[in-house]
Amino acid sequence: MSPGPEPVFPEYETETSQTSKLLKKFKETPFVPVGMAGFAAVVGYGLYKLKHRGDMKMSLHLIHMRVAAQGFVVGAITCGVLYSMFREYVVKPKE
Protein backbone atom coordinates (compact mmCIF):
# COMPACT_ATOMS: atom_id res chain seq x y z
CA MET A 1 0.00 0.00 0.00
CA SER A 2 1.27 3.44 -0.79
CA PRO A 3 1.30 6.13 1.91
CA GLY A 4 -0.73 8.61 -0.13
CA PRO A 5 -2.66 8.89 -3.35
CA GLU A 6 -0.41 9.43 -6.34
CA PRO A 7 -1.58 11.97 -8.92
CA VAL A 8 -3.09 10.47 -12.02
CA PHE A 9 -1.48 13.04 -14.31
CA PRO A 10 1.58 14.37 -12.46
CA GLU A 11 2.56 16.79 -15.24
CA TYR A 12 -0.80 18.53 -14.96
CA GLU A 13 -1.04 18.60 -11.18
CA THR A 14 2.03 20.65 -10.37
CA GLU A 15 1.97 23.44 -7.84
CA THR A 16 1.66 26.42 -10.20
CA SER A 17 -0.58 29.41 -9.90
CA GLN A 18 -3.15 30.50 -12.45
CA THR A 19 -1.11 33.64 -13.13
CA SER A 20 1.99 31.68 -14.07
CA LYS A 21 -0.07 29.42 -16.35
CA LEU A 22 -1.61 32.50 -18.00
CA LEU A 23 1.78 34.15 -18.51
CA LYS A 24 3.18 30.93 -19.99
CA LYS A 25 0.26 30.72 -22.41
CA PHE A 26 0.70 34.36 -23.43
CA LYS A 27 4.39 33.72 -24.14
CA GLU A 28 3.50 30.76 -26.35
CA THR A 29 0.84 32.66 -28.31
CA PRO A 30 1.51 36.41 -28.00
CA PHE A 31 -1.17 37.54 -30.44
CA VAL A 32 -4.08 36.13 -28.42
CA PRO A 33 -3.90 38.87 -25.75
CA VAL A 34 -3.29 41.44 -28.50
CA GLY A 35 -6.49 40.34 -30.24
CA MET A 36 -8.43 40.33 -26.97
CA ALA A 37 -7.15 43.80 -26.04
CA GLY A 38 -7.92 45.15 -29.50
CA PHE A 39 -11.42 43.72 -29.38
CA ALA A 40 -11.98 45.32 -25.97
CA ALA A 41 -10.59 48.64 -27.25
CA VAL A 42 -12.89 48.65 -30.29
CA VAL A 43 -15.89 47.81 -28.12
CA GLY A 44 -14.96 50.54 -25.64
CA TYR A 45 -14.48 53.06 -28.43
CA GLY A 46 -17.80 52.02 -29.96
CA LEU A 47 -19.61 52.51 -26.67
CA TYR A 48 -17.99 55.92 -26.28
CA LYS A 49 -18.92 56.97 -29.82
CA LEU A 50 -22.45 55.62 -29.37
CA LYS A 51 -23.34 58.77 -27.48
CA HIS A 52 -21.87 61.07 -30.15
CA ARG A 53 -22.92 59.28 -33.33
CA GLY A 54 -24.97 62.23 -34.62
CA ASP A 55 -27.76 61.33 -37.03
CA MET A 56 -26.41 57.84 -37.78
CA LYS A 57 -28.90 55.06 -37.11
CA MET A 58 -28.21 52.74 -34.20
CA SER A 59 -28.19 49.60 -36.37
CA LEU A 60 -25.66 51.09 -38.79
CA HIS A 61 -23.41 52.15 -35.91
CA LEU A 62 -23.55 48.66 -34.39
CA ILE A 63 -22.76 47.04 -37.74
CA HIS A 64 -19.70 49.28 -38.16
CA MET A 65 -18.47 48.47 -34.66
CA ARG A 66 -19.00 44.73 -35.17
CA VAL A 67 -17.05 44.78 -38.44
CA ALA A 68 -14.23 46.78 -36.83
CA ALA A 69 -13.98 44.39 -33.86
CA GLN A 70 -14.05 41.31 -36.08
CA GLY A 71 -11.49 42.84 -38.40
CA PHE A 72 -9.11 43.50 -35.53
CA VAL A 73 -9.45 39.96 -34.19
CA VAL A 74 -9.00 38.39 -37.64
CA GLY A 75 -5.96 40.60 -38.21
CA ALA A 76 -4.45 39.53 -34.89
CA ILE A 77 -5.09 35.86 -35.70
CA THR A 78 -3.49 36.29 -39.13
CA CYS A 79 -0.43 37.98 -37.61
CA GLY A 80 -0.20 35.17 -35.05
CA VAL A 81 -0.30 32.49 -37.73
CA LEU A 82 2.33 34.28 -39.80
CA TYR A 83 4.51 34.73 -36.71
CA SER A 84 4.26 31.05 -35.78
CA MET A 85 5.02 30.01 -39.38
CA PHE A 86 8.02 32.33 -39.38
CA ARG A 87 9.28 30.81 -36.12
CA GLU A 88 8.67 27.27 -37.34
CA TYR A 89 10.04 27.42 -40.86
CA VAL A 90 12.48 30.34 -41.06
CA VAL A 91 14.07 30.77 -37.63
CA LYS A 92 14.08 27.10 -36.61
CA PRO A 93 17.30 25.44 -37.78
CA LYS A 94 16.96 22.75 -40.41
CA GLU A 95 17.41 19.21 -39.13
Give tens-digit pLDDT for 45-76.
888 888 887 888 888 888 988 898 888 888 88
Q: How far apart are CA 87 and CA 14, in angstroms?
A: 29
DSSP-assigned letter for residue 55: T
- Rounded to a whole number of angstroms, the distance between the first and last alpha carbons of the chain is 47
Residues 1, 39 contacting (CB under 8 angstroms): no
Each residue of 5-60: pLDDT tens digit? 665 665 555 567 888 877 887 787 777 788 788 888 888 888 888 888 788 888 88
Does residue 92 or residue 66 have the better pLDDT? 66
